[in-house]
């Protein structure tokens, strides 16, 4: 991608200098109730949350590239901080122009950079969940170590591969502003038998919306040769079927939550080729 490293976006909230769930790095004393709560969370999430309460310990989050100790505010991440700032601002400025055409005004989302674990409006967040959008506080959460994981573990590298991941999460913010997210959550509550299917359709639509933004970058000559292929490779790399195979399990479409590799690529391309939100009706097919 053609971009010039610069400052940090005003919409970036950098929590990398804080450890764990907002606790300081000097450790914390737990009462019996707190001890039981952390023990229960550790059992539920299969993660040693006690390590987060000590002096800078790193939780075992089940992702090899993200369990290594990294300094808070790692200087080596500065380029990535500036890059995600560029993508965030570019994507949000694009949606400010596009969204009124579809009956809504765009409001900026915040991007939270964190290390290992943090609190969100949607509850406790940890690196193992990967990047996500929380509609309750309208913030995107990402541990930048995910990008190393994307490259090293999933073979998806390149600036536009990273941009696709963030644009997908901003796509969820667009869904929230359009009222789509709320309608889907209500349908999942009333039809729990369709919960996974609806989740897949919501995620595929976010892929398509990421493609809509990608279309605008091509129109503005931001993309370079090979960029689109790298985004497509990233979409394919994190399809549910591939992740299930990597985990040594059989492919079970009924348990998909984000969609197959082929479907993720298909819907990203639908948005990229059209540049039109109307092309992203994953619920009508």
- Total domain count, the chain: 2
d(CA 42, CA 61): 11
- Do 32 and 79 lie in one domain? The reply is no
134 domain residue, yes or no: yes
- Do 62 and 95 lie in one domain? The reply is no
199 domain residue, yes or no: yes
- Do 190 and 234 lie in one domain? The reply is yes
* Measured CA distances, 61 to 3, 104, 150, 180 (Å): 33, 38, 15, 31
Is the model's pLDDT at 43 over the cut of 80? no
- Do 153 and 265 lie in one domain? The reply is yes
- Please give the share of the chain, as a percent, with pLDDT higher than 90: 57
- Do 136 and 201 lie in one domain? The reply is yes
51 domain residue, yes or no: yes
160 domain residue, yes or no: yes
The H or E element spanning position 17 is none
Q: pLDDT tens digits for 95-108? A: 999 999 999 999 99
87 domain residue, yes or no: yes
In this prediction, residues 268-278 reach a mean pLDDT of 97
- Of residues 87 and 73, the one with the higher pLDDT is 87
- Do 97 and 238 lie in one domain? The reply is yes
Q: Which residues pair with 110 in a beta bridge?
A: 139
Q: Which domain holds residue 272?
A: 75-284
pLDDT value for 199: 94
Q: Enter the tokens of residue 110.
A: 């915040």
- Do 141 and 158 lie in one domain? The reply is yes
d(CA 165, CA 235): 8
Q: Which residues pair with 111 in a beta bridge?
A: 12, 140
9 domain residue, yes or no: no
- Do 56 and 165 lie in one domain? The reply is no
6 domain residue, yes or no: no
Choose the final residue of a domain: 66, 86, 121. 66
- Do 136 and 167 lie in one domain? The reply is yes
- Do 261 and 154 lie in one domain? The reply is yes
Residue 178: exposed, middle, or buried by beta-carbon count in 10 A (0-12, 13-18, 19+)?
A: middle
Q: pLDDT tens digits for 145-196? A: 888 888 888 888 889 999 999 999 999 999 999 999 999 999 999 999 999 9
d(CA 174, CA 172): 5
Q: pLDDT tens digits for 184-200? A: 999 999 999 999 999 99
Model confidence at 216, pLDDT cuts 50, 70, 90, reads very high
- Do 219 and 264 lie in one domain? The reply is yes
d(CA 284, CA 281): 6
């Amino acid at each position: 991608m053609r971009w010039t490293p610069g400052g940090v976006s005003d919409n970036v909230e950098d929590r990398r200098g804080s450890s764990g769930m907002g606790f300081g790095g000097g450790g914390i004393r737990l009462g019996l109730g707190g001890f039981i709560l952390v023990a229960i969370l550790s059992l539920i999430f299969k993660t040693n949350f006690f390590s987060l309460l000590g002096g800078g310990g790193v939780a075992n989050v089940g992702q090899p590239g993200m369990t290594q100790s990294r300094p808070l505010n790692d200087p080596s991440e500065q380029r990535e901080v500036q890059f995600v700032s560029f993508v965030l601002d570019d994507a949000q400025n694009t949606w400010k122009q596009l969204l009124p055409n579809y009956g809504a005004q765009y409001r900026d989302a915040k991007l939270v950079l964190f290390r290992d674990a943090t609190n969100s409006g949607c509850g406790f967040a940890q690196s193992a969940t990967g990047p996500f959008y929380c509609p309750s506080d309208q913030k995107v959460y990402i541990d930048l170590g995910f990008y190393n994981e994307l490259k090293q573990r999933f073979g998806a590298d390149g600036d536009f591969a990273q941009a696709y991941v963030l644009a997908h999460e901003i796509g969820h913010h667009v869904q929230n502003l359009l009222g789509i997210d709320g309608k889907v959550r209500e349908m999942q509550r009333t039809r729990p038998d369709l919960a996974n299917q609806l989740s897949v359709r919501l995620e595929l639509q976010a892929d398509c919306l990421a493609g809509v933004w990608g279309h605008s970058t091509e129109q503005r000559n931001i993309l370079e040769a090979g960029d689109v292929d790298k985004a497509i490779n990233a979409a394919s790399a994190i399809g549910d079927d591939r992740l299930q195979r990597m985990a040594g399990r059989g492919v079970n479409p009924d348990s998909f939550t984000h969609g197959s590799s082929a479907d993720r690529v298909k819907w990203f391309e639908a948005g990229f080729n059209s540049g039109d939100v109307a092309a992203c009706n994953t619920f009508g097919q």
